[in-house]
């Protein structure tokens, strides 16, 4: 077996859960055929776990953030309970989507990875906000987590469009960047390509984008699913692993991500060897006036 | 010494001046208020045996761009390399099967930067005379692609921008090399410049510089609005997806206009592919593709489009993704610490 990891990704409509056990059952049902054994890593879409927001809060005619604050820490606990239990039953690594957590002020957007024993091996919060995410409390650091043979970094919300994040993760050793997303409609192929697809290219890493679809509180999500790699490692040099393009609708895919292929691509064309640190040292971080993500 | 004298004679300015001063009928551009019409040249690579032949070819491109009302014309990377055809005995070198073989025939251990050390002053003289002359004759800004330039014992790949008076506005050494260029003995630049012009704030990084998001972060922090990118991609048959790497994603993440001028064709064992294009943020393109205009294939072409600077400035007032200065302070520039001396992949550690 080549070094690497079998990774599964999901594109799903948003649905409410009656509690953690209900979410575990949903994960188990959707993972049938994908998740058996410790050689697998399953990645659910962004905001998938928001289905855990208690029904009473979810249905009240108030904004999502008021409901979040009312839920307090219960949502975070339910997320961890469901993630841990599902990972144990599947005996697989699991990223059970992402969830919003009340913060002071605003809220944080986080996702965790659970190991096959149900332990949290890492948690990441969104680091860059979209222009209208005024209440989001962003994180100021990122980390990579060991998942089988791969080092994994997590990109949430706007992070796939903030190139500094993927660069930092890649320089810190990420082999795979996963982006569990719930992108708002309209989400065109061009906007998608400008995100994780191109980050996989400029950082020579694997990528997995999973997507939530359908109505999500007051918005509509338009997620999709795709696995990425450097063009040189993929059929017809598309940069897509499997189908040469995005898959949409309620669907799932799994691929073995071979770390040896990444190493070959990096050796053949060592992008990082030609970084120009003396130039960056002079100007980065740049002046705030014209700062970019 | 004989070769240097011959090169000096072959690069004298008199005959070149006659070509670039040849009667032109400058067209007065009539762009809409706040718009700039720009042209990206897509040029088949060839070695020119004389400065006059080089001047005639470039003049045909500038003439076409000017007739279309362009105020800025951008040439491809390695434009100056086409002038190596003026080297004494070049015909014999050109019959070599590869660049490596051609260099080997000059003597053991000779690399391209050694050749540029000898030929560079002459090729640069022709290049500067022709580009400045064309800019002056056609009253147009000319981004002259790039040329290999010897400087203080090192060789750089340098972009040049001329204003409509023929004055050199700025030189920009390429800051990120291809592995191939490093093997030729080229050196990387360590600064990026943004130039104030009546057309807007222009930058001219070179080809591989657009593989690195850092280039564009720095340029935007210095106020860049229009980024000219001369390219000569030594990939004979890139996929459509591979062609999307480089300038297109940099424009999307940076909120600038991008003008890519591609060298095509090839010589010796080198072949170039790429499509000249004028690129804008997705929201500023009518079809949402991120392209304002694009070459139709891989042959000679001049690609024209208008850039709406007012629309760009309005677009940049409301960035899709907000910066996170605390995140940047956490990592930059020390995240590159392991790469201070030539780069180490975590795999290699």
Contacts of A284 in chain B (CB under 8 A): 214, 217-218, 328, 332-333
Comparing A93-102, A228-237, B30-39, which segment has the lowest mean pLDDT? B30-39
pLDDT of residue B349: 31
Q: Which pLDDT value is given to residue B26?
A: 58
Report CB contact under 8 Å: B188, A276: yes
Q: What is the C-alpha to C-alpha distance for residues B46 and B79, in angstroms, rounded to an integer?
A: 9
Q: How far is A31 from chain B (nearest CA, A)?
A: 31
- Report the complex ipTM: 0.94
Residue among B220, B282, B325 whose CB faces A288 most closely: B325
Cα(A98)–Cα(A149) distance, integer angstroms:
23
Q: What is the DSSP-derived secondary structure letter of residue B89? A: T
Answer whether B340 touches A (CB < 8 Å): yes
- Count structural domains, chain A: 1
Whether chain A has a CB inside 8 Å of the CB on B323: the answer is yes
Q: With 0.95 as the threshold, say if the pTM is over it.
A: no
Question: What does residue A202 show for φ and ψ, rounded to 5 degrees?
Answer: -75, -10
- For A131, which of B179, B322, B343 is closest by C-beta distance? B322
Q: Please tell me the predicted confidence (pLDDT) of residue B339.
A: 66
Residue owning tokens 């012009």: B197
How many angstroms separate the CA atoms of A147 and A126, rounded? 20
Min distance A145 CA to chain B CA atoms (Å): 14
Structural domain for A276, as ranges? 4-290
Residue A180: its pLDDT value, please? 98
Give the domain CATH number at A11. 3.60.110.10
| The pLDDT of residue A290 | 61
Structural domains in chain B, CATH included, are 2-316 (3.60.110.10)
A202–B177 CB contact, under 8 Å: no
Q: What is the mean pLDDT of each run of 10 residues along chain B (349 residues)?
A: 73 77 60 87 95 96 96 97 88 79 80 84 95 97 96 93 98 94 90 97 98 97 97 86 94 98 89 93 97 94 97 95 95 83 40
Q: Is B145 helix (H, G, I), strand (E, B) or coil?
A: strand
Q: Is B315 at the interface with chain A, CB within 8 A?
A: no
Residue B314, chain A, CB below 8 Å: the answer is: no
Q: Is B9 on the interface with A (CB under 8 A)?
A: no
Closest CB to B211 among A266, A271, A287: A271
Q: Which helix (H) or strand (E) holds B103?
A: helix B99-104
pLDDT surpasses 90 at A201: yes
Q: Measured between CB atoms, does A141 come within 8 Å of chain B?
A: yes
Testing the interface with A: which of B321, B334, B343 to mutate, by most A Cβ within 10 A? B321
Q: What average pLDDT does this structure show over A143-159?
A: 97
Q: Are B168 and B235 in contact (CB under 8 A)?
A: no
Mean pLDDT confidence for A216-234: 93
Cβ of B208: how many Cβ atoms within 10 Å?
26
> Does residue B214 belong to the interface with chain A, where contact is any CB pair within 8 Å?
yes
Q: Are B212 and A202 in contact (CB under 8 A)?
A: yes
Taking alpha carbons only, the member of B267, B268, B7 closest to residue B118 is B7
Q: Establish, for the pair of chains A and B, how many residue pairs have beta carbons separated by less than 8 Å.
A: 210
Name the B residues in 50-69 with CB < 8 Å from any A CB.
none
Chain B (159-178) residues lying within 8 Å, Cβ to Cβ, of chain A: 175-178
Beta strands B35-45 and B72-74 are parallel
Predicted confidence at residue A226, as pLDDT, reads 98
CB contact under 8 A, B218 and A284: yes
Q: Rounded to a whole number, what is the distance in Å from the CA of A182 to chain B's nearest CA?
A: 16
A21 by Cβ neighbours in 10 Å (0-12 / 13-18 / 19+) ranks as middle
Average pLDDT, chain A: 92
A278 touches chain B (CB under 8 A): yes
Nearest chain A residue to B225 by CA: give it: A290
Residues 6 or more apart whose Cβ sits within 8 Å of residue B123: B11, B80, B83, B84, B86, B116, B147, B148
Residue B345 has what pLDDT? 41
Q: Give the whole-angstrom CA distance, residue A46 versus residue A208.
A: 12
Residue A189 touches partner B, C-beta closer than 8 Å: no
A132 touching B (Cβ < 8 Å): no
CA A270 and chain centroid, separation: 26
Phi, psi of A196 (to 5 degrees): -70, -30
């Amino acid at each position: 077996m080549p070094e690497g990891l079998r990774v599964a990704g999901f594109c799903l409509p948003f649905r409410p859960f009656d509690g953690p056990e209900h979410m575990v059952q949903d994960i188990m049902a959707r993972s049938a055929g994908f998740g058996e054994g410790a050689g697998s890593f399953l990645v659910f879409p962004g905001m998938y776990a928001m289905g855990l927001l208690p029904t009473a809060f979810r249905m009240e005619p108030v904004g999502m953030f008021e409901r979040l604050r009312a839920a307090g820490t219960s949502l975070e606990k339910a997320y961890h309970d469901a993630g841990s239990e599902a990972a144990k039953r599947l005996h697989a690594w699991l990223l059970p989507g992402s969830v919003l957590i009340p913060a002071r002020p605003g809220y944080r957007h986080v996702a965790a990875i659970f190991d096959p024993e149900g332990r949290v091996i890492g948690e990441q919060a969104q680091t860059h906000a979209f222009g209208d995410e005024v209440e989001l409390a962003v994180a100021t650091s990122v980390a990579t987590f060991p998942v089988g043979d791969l080092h994994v970094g997590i990109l949430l919300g706007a992070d796939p469009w903030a190139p500094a994040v993927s660069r930092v993760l890649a320089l810190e050793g990420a082999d795979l960047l996963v982006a569990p997303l719930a992108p708002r409609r309209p989400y065109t192929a061009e906007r998608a390509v400008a995100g994780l697809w191109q980050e996989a290219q400029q950082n020579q890493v694997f990528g997995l984008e999973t997507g939530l679809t359908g109505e999500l509180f007051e918005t509509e999500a338009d997620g999709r699913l795709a696995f990425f790699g450097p063009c040189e490692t993929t059929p017809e040099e598309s940069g897509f692993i499997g189908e040469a393009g995005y898959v949409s609708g309620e669907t799932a895919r799994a691929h073995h991500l071979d770390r040896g292929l990444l190493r070959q691509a990096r050796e053949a064309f060592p992008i990082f060897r030609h970084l120009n640190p003396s130039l960056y040292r002079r100007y980065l971080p740049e002046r705030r006036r014209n700062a970019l993500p | 010494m004989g070769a240097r004298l011959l090169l000096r004679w072959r690069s004298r300015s008199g005959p070149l001046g006659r070509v670039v001063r040849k009667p032109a009928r400058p067209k007065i551009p009539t762009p809409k208020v706040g718009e700039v019409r720009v042209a990206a040249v897509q040029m088949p690579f060839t070695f020119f045996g004389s400065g006059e032949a080089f001047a005639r070819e470039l003049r045909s491109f500038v003439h076409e761009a000017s007739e279309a009302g362009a105020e800025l014309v951008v040439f491809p990377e390695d434009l100056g390399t086409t002038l190596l055809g003026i080297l004494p005995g070049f015909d014999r070198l050109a019959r070599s099967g590869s660049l490596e073989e051609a260099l080997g025939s000059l003597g053991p251990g000779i690399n391209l930067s050694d050749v540029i050390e000898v030929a560079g002053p002459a090729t640069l003289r022709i290049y500067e005379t022709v580009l400045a002359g064309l800019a002056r004759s056609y009253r147009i800004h000319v981004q002259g692609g790039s040329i290999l330039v010897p400087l203080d014992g090192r060789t750089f790949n340098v972009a040049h921008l001329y204003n409509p008076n023929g004055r050199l506005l700025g030189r920009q050494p390429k800051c990120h090399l291809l592995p191939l260029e490093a093997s030729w003995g080229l050196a990387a630049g360590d600064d990026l410049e943004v130039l104030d012009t009546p057309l807007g704030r222009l930058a001219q990084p070179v080809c591989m510089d657009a593989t690195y998001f850092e280039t564009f972060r720095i340029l935007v922090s210095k106020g860049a609005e229009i980024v000219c990118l001369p390219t000569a991609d030594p990939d004979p048959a890139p996929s459509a997806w591979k062609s999307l790497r480089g300038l297109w994603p940099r424009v999307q993440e940076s909120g600038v206009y991008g003008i890519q001028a591609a060298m095509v064709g090839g010589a010796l064992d080198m072949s170039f592919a790429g499509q000249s294009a004028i690129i804008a943020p997705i929201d500023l393109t009518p079809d949402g593709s991120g392209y304002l205009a694009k070459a139709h294939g891989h042959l000679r072409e001049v690609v024209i489009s208008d850039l709406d600077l007012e629309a760009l400035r309005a677009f940049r007032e409301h960035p899709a993704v907000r910066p996170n200065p605390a995140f940047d302070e956490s990592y930059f520039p020390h995240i590159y610490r392991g790469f201070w001396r030539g780069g180490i992949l975590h795999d290699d550690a």
